[in-house]
Chain A
Amino acid sequence: MVRPVGILALQGNFSQHAAMLLHLGYAPIMVRYPKDLEACRALIIPGGESTTMSKQIDRNGLRAPIKDFGKKNPIMGTCAGMILLSNSKNGKNMDPLNIMDFTVDRNAWGRQVYSFTDTLKLHFDKRKQFKGTFIRAPKINQIGKQIKVLAEYNGEPVMLKNSKHLVCSFHPEIGKDTRIHQFFLKNLHD
């Protein structure tokens, strides 16, 4: 059975998420219109520019459909996608979707010259470390009661989940390690 998984394809790195889904045997659906969500069992909001995506979500009537989708289906947000799933109020020039109960500081690791890769431990798979790619990454600050931390880096939480959704401040779509995508998608195996 091919399981269709949507990727919000307004702006950003949707193509590398699609390549990873194909590799894992899922059918990626590029989501640009509300009707594209109807066929999806899950949604990925990729990295890119959160200001750009936030404006395009509103211009193209996607805010309410994505929020409704998230009530029943799992969503994964990476980097800008994580910012969009948060309920940060300080989102200067952008409006998060308020789907998960945590807040972020955007670009808190610094400008591009401070972007980096480093290994981190995944709490759900301690056999091998994960190489995280942090590009102008956000930092997580407040975390709600229902949220569980799945990975930390230098004592900072960098990956969170609640009962349905998953976010990380780095880019699991960069590289060949598919464990984070697999962890997210395992909910779809009925």
Chain B
Amino acid sequence: MAKGTFEVKVGLAEMLKGGVIMDVTTPEQAKIAEDAGAAAVMALERIPADIRKDGGISRMSDPIMIKGIQQSVTIPVMAKCRIGHFAEAQILESLEVDFIDESEVLTPADDNNHIYKNDFKVPFVCGARNLGEALRRIGEGAAMIRTKGEAGSGNIVEAVRHMRTIMNDIQWLTTLNHDQLMSAARDLQAPFALVEQVAKIKKLPVPNFSAGGIATPADASLVMQLGAEAVFVGSGIFKSEDPASRATAIVEAVTYYKDPAKLAKVSEGLKSAMKGIDMSEIPENQLMQERGW
């Protein structure tokens, strides 16, 4: 019997495709997410929009809070640790969370290294803005990639930029001859074996989800049409006026992303979305997407 292999980790990522993973801070919110049809929930103490507002150091959540959410739902429960903070990851693994997000939303603990994720039995998801960053994370053992977007912004522009960049990078690789792949690996700062694999299979070796700014059913459809295999919605649901209806609408939008008439129908009468912020309003040193190396 083999547990915690890369294959078994990627297996759970494959099962989450076509779904929505929702940030929740209480068991009550987790129930709302599950009832709406979330494929998984992300348990955290403060959603990104509040982390951004409150400032200070943002860390792994209280185990009591994570356990409360695990007991309240049957769908997979994810939790976040700080970039490079393998001790937080060890604690989350001991709590038997189903997935760990080594996340730029929390304050990084190591300004040079990410966690060596192959050491763990629990699968990890990591953010990426381009193909090189995605392949470095997969090289460390990430079983799922999510484009970073800009968490807590309610603004889809960065999520779109990152998804387009990764897809363009993959397309570019597939146009190269084998003797050009080493220089591509050098330019991407990515492991050569993974660059070879992507050039061959024309996609990432693990599922590629979208995150960071999705606030409406149309946003979900947009990133799915650009190539996302599922979406994370952080602040977009519980910072909106009617979370249950919005959560349900986004779940349906991810399934029916190619059907504008259906998208129109699920978008009807949703109360206000989260307010959101323009990128120019965020000082450069407060961009979460810049965290990670």
Interface residues of A (CB under 8 A from B): 9-16, 32, 47-49, 51-52, 55-56, 59-60, 79-80, 92-93, 106-107, 110-118, 133, 135-136, 171, 174
Interface flags for B13-49 (1: CB within 8 Å of A; 0: not) read: 0111111000000000000001111111000000000
CA gap between A9 and B93 in the complex, in Å = 31
Contacts A10-B255, A93-B74 given; does A115 touch B8 at CB 8 Å:
yes
A48-B8 in contact (CB<8A) = no
Contacts A10-B255, A93-B34, A135-B8 given; does A113 touch B14 at CB 8 Å:
no
A48-B37 in contact (CB<8A) = no
Does chain A have a CB within 8 A of B171? Answer: no
CA gap between A113 and B40 in the complex, in Å = 16
Contacts A52-B251, A59-B252 given; does A116 touch B15 at CB 8 Å:
no
Contacts A112-B98, A117-B5 given; does A52 touch B252 at CB 8 Å:
no
Does chain A have a CB within 8 A of B4? Answer: yes
Give 12 A-B contacts (CB < 8 Å), ordered by A residue.
Answer: A10-B255, A32-B255, A51-B75, A52-B38, A55-B35, A56-B37, A56-B255, A112-B76, A115-B12, A117-B8, A135-B12, A136-B98
- Contacts of A174 on B, CB cut-off 8 Å? 7, 11, 14
CA gap between A170 and B38 in the complex, in Å = 22
Does chain A have a CB within 8 A of B123? Answer: yes
- Contacts of A10 on B, CB cut-off 8 Å? 18, 255
Select one of A9, A55, A92, A114 contacting B18, CB under 8 A. A9
| Minimum C-beta distance from B206 to chain A (A) | 13
A114-B3 in contact (CB<8A) = yes
Question: How many residues on chain B are close to A (CB under 8 Å)?
Answer: 41
Does chain A have a CB within 8 A of B199? Answer: no
| Minimum C-beta distance from A70 to chain B (A) | 21
Q: Is the interface of A mostly helix, strand, loop or mixed?
A: loop
Most buried by B among A13, A47, A52, A106: A52
| Minimum C-beta distance from A83 to chain B (A) | 11
**B:225-250 near A, CB below 8 Å:** 229, 248
**B:187-236 near A, CB below 8 Å:** 229
Closest to B259 in A: A32
For the complex of A and B, 4 pairs with smallest distance between CB atoms: A112-B98, A11-B18, A55-B37, A135-B11
- Contacts of A136 on B, CB cut-off 8 Å? 12, 15, 76, 98
| Minimum C-beta distance from B274 to chain A (A) | 23
Select one of A47, A93, A110, A133 contacting B8, CB under 8 A. A133
Does chain A have a CB within 8 A of B86? Answer: no
Contacts A117-B8, A118-B1, A133-B8 given; does A51 touch B34 at CB 8 Å:
yes
- Contacts of B12 on A, CB cut-off 8 Å? 112, 115, 135-136
Select one of B2, B4, B39 contacting A52, CB under 8 A. B39
A13-B17 in contact (CB<8A) = yes
Does chain A have a CB within 8 A of B88? Answer: no
CA gap between A88 and B36 in the complex, in Å = 22
